A and B are shown apart, each in its own frame.
Chain A
Amino acid sequence: MDEAPGLSDQYRTASPWPVFVALGIPISELGLLFGLFPLAVGGLLLFCGSIAGMLKESGYVESTIRSLVVLSAILFAFGGALAFTEINLVTRGYATIAAAALLLVGGVAFELFVWDNKQAI
């Protein structure tokens, strides 16, 4: 503020990701709680994808793919625990695993096609 009083009304700051992180949480919670497969998958994708985007944007990580891999590993572990241990919440477990797989595929695709494109320009 001190350097540039008055400037603050020119919206120094914006990021598209927070809204979607915030939307991803309730959607995935609803999906997992009520066992609604598409909501669970979509919500987790939205949540993890936005986290990855935000990490990249803020410069906490160098590459998007690495955070996506980590996030998808966490989901794999969580989904596996739900589906294949005595917790035995099979639908929810598979939904989480599906989200993990999609995240991984999406990450690789993004890395191969989209990101390279941008670098080239």
Chain B
Amino acid sequence: MEVNGQLALTVLMGVFLITVAAWLARIEDWRSYTPLAGGGAVGGTKEQYVSEEKPSGLIRWLTTVDHKDIGMLYGVYSLIAFAVGGLMVVAMRIELADPSMTLLSNTFYNSLLTSHGITMLFLFGTPIIAAFSNYFIPLLIGADDMAFPRINAIAFWLLPPGALLIWAGFFPIPDIIPAQTAWTMYTPLSAGVGSGNQMNAGVDLMLLGLHLTGVSATMGAINFIATIFTERNEKVTWANLDIFSWTILTQSGLILFAFPLLGSAILMLLLDRNFGTAFFSVDGGAILWQHLFWFFGHPEVYILVLPPMGIVSLVLPRFAGRRLFGFKFVVYSTLAIGVLSFGVWAHHMFATGIDPRLRASFMAVSLAIAIPSAVKTFNWITTMWNGNIRLTTPMLFCIGFVSNFIIGGVTGVFLASIPIDLILHDTYYVVGHFHYIVMGAIAFAGFAGLYYWFPIYTGRMYQTTLGKWHFWLSMIGTNLTFFVMVLLGYGGMPRRYATYLPQFATMHQLATVGALILLVGQMIFVWNFVQSWLEGPKVEDGDPWDLGEDNLTTAEWTWFERKLQTAVTDGGEEEEAELATDGGETVTDADDE
């Protein structure tokens, strides 16, 4: 039996490798007679490093190293993950509609809880940001592509196997059950100690998957840092670098310090689980995990929120008819948040009994980080003040972002205060707090970006009425669901339970209603998105938002306009003249965004 299994595996692996080799040989052959553009010289010209003409269909997507294609892949991937994570939580919320265990078993609830968190943070949140940054950073800074196009492709392709491993416990594989460790993977539970079932290989698979997504994020970060430093067009200086690129640069720096640490901690945990090491089982091991995890975990929340802030800082002024108020201070606050975010991690550990003097210092820094966040908020509000506001769908999502971010941020400041945290820690208040940010702000900014740039990446326009329905259902659903959670937390409802005392029933039912409203909103979004992509009216104007009228055009729209015109005239000659008469700016100006 043992030997048979090994044999089968060997044969399978062999066949797989041979198939790969044969396929590669064909591709390489085909490349050898594709004439090389740029003269066909065999040697070190820059053009030569990739073929100029590409196959169609599936092969194109499997082999692409074009930053725009990779951006699309990230986008599709993250939206699928969003749907998976969303459906998981719908099942959980329906279970929570009544106090006892009805629809799901408690263990299955715990599995869904774990996967929901990890899916949303690592398979939706980080990749949806990468979708925007891959597509638009090179356009915004006038680069030909990313600094390392192939590394870029590797970073993306690590994600699908990562997702399969993270979800592996749910697949019908014998003897494998889903992890039930929650996204924080606290030891000793996650080390498989005790009488529970967390010694199961499903947990190892999830850890491996998480490790892969970490490697992917790190590769992407290195690539963005190199790209923004070295590939900028000479017209793009540090002084007029756009705000989105600034946030991506800061985010990449955070990733570079945070994710490798998570990777190491995960490897240590895997060693503990499989090879008998004792990193986390000796005295103090449990607190060691918490320190390692949160040293990663808190920066991770800013890794997730900084680029969405960048999207809002970029999009919101376009529909307020004016430039971003205090551009420089928005950049400074981004950098300040980046630095400070490494000094607050123990605010997740106030209740663990760590040294009170340490606790106090972490409280101080946590309160301090609210200041740069508030600077940004005031700048967004001031930008809109007396502005010529156009309530388009992307703008609505930006305003929703600001509103939800305020509630999420203020609840965060309360949590940062030790005496309050000792009461609210591990209650639904915390769940309410961070969902105001992750759903109410991060996802909202993602939608703002998806709608705002829809004409660029699809060449078509979405249906505006459906877009507004999507916004309002999302806004109402988010605030109903998560405000009720804040109240539940005040009432003392602990988080992460599948069952609860009957006194909480009404609140929980309201939260479930909110989640269902959100579900309807997202179904409208999917319909609008897919249907408009396939059949929406073609965009013929390179400036569909009329940004030129307010002199607010940015480089990616200029690029889009040129692209439309070359498609029509099939010649580059008149472009410059046409652009000038259009009133739009040809170059991105200083302090523009």
Contacts and interface: CB of A to CB of B under 8 A. Distances in A.
Interface in B189-240: 201, 204, 208, 211-212, 215, 233
Given A13-B64, A13-B65, A1 B559 contact: yes
Contact of B13 (A1, A17, A34, A41): A41
Interface in A16-67: 16-23, 25-26, 29-30, 33-34, 36-39, 41-42, 45-46, 53-54, 57-59
B328 interface: no
Interface string B266-286: 000010001100000000000
A37 B12 CA distance: 12
Given A11-B64, A57-B49, A5 B54 contact: no
A6 B215 contact: no
Interface stretch (B155-163, B405-413, B494-502): B155-163
A76 to B, nearest CB: 20
B20 interface: yes
B107 interface: no
B503 interface: no
Interface stretch (B364-372, B465-473, B561-569): B561-569
Interface string B556-578: 00010011111100001001000
Contact of A42 (B14, B156, B162, B211): B14
B54 A14 contact: yes
A14 B64 contact: yes
A53 B50 CA distance: 13
On chain A, which size bracket covers the interface?
A: 35 or more
Contacts of A7: 566
A78 B54 CA distance: 38
Given A11-B54, A25-B212, A38 B9 contact: yes
Contact of B208 (A2, A4, A10, A29): A29
B165 A26 contact: yes
B208 A46 contact: no
Interface in B50-98: 50-55, 60, 62-66, 68-69
A15 B153 contact: yes
Contacts of A45: 17
A21 B63 CA distance: 12
B138 A59 contact: no
B44 A59 contact: yes
Contacts of A34: 201, 204, 274
Nearest to A17: B150
Nearest to B212: A26
Contact of A19 (B12, B62, B204): B62
Given A14-B64, A16-B63, A26-B161, A38 B69 contact: no
On chain B, which size bracket covers the interface?
A: 35 or more
Contacts of B23: 16
B142 interface: yes
Contacts of A10: 52-54
Interface in B1-33: 6, 9-10, 12-14, 16-17, 20, 23-24, 27-28, 32
DSSP class of A's interface residues: helix, strand, loop or mixed?
helix
Given A37-B6, A39-B13, A59-B48, A89 B65 contact: no
B157 A46 contact: no
Nearest to A23: B161
B566 A26 contact: no
Given A6-B567, A18-B157, A53-B24, A30 B562 contact: no
B559 A38 contact: no
A111 B172 CA distance: 44
Nearest to B149: A13
B55 A13 contact: no
B563 A6 contact: yes
Contact of A6 (B10, B144, B566): B566
Given A21-B154, A22-B154, A54-B150, A5 B562 contact: yes
B208 A30 contact: yes
B177 interface: no
B294 to A, nearest CB: 25
A2 to B, nearest CB: 7
Contacts of B50: 12-15
B567 A118 contact: no
A121 to B, nearest CB: 8
B416 interface: no
Contacts of B154: 18, 21-22
A17 B145 CA distance: 18
A87 to B, nearest CB: 9
Contacts of A2: 142, 233
Contacts of B233: 2
List the 3 shortest-distance A-B pairs measured between CB atoms, nearest first: A22-B157, A11-B54, A18-B153
Interface of B: 6, 9-10, 12-14, 16-17, 20, 23-24, 27-28, 32, 44, 48-55, 60, 62-66, 68-69, 138-139, 142-145, 149-151, 153-154, 156-158, 161-162, 165, 201, 204, 208, 211-212, 215, 233, 270, 274-275, 559, 562-567, 572, 575
16 contacts: A1-B559, A10-B54, A12-B52, A13-B64, A14-B63, A15-B50, A15-B63, A20-B20, A22-B153, A25-B158, A25-B212, A33-B270, A34-B201, A36-B9, A37-B9, A46-B20
Interface of A: 1-2, 4-23, 25-26, 29-30, 33-34, 36-39, 41-42, 45-46, 53-54, 57-59, 89, 118
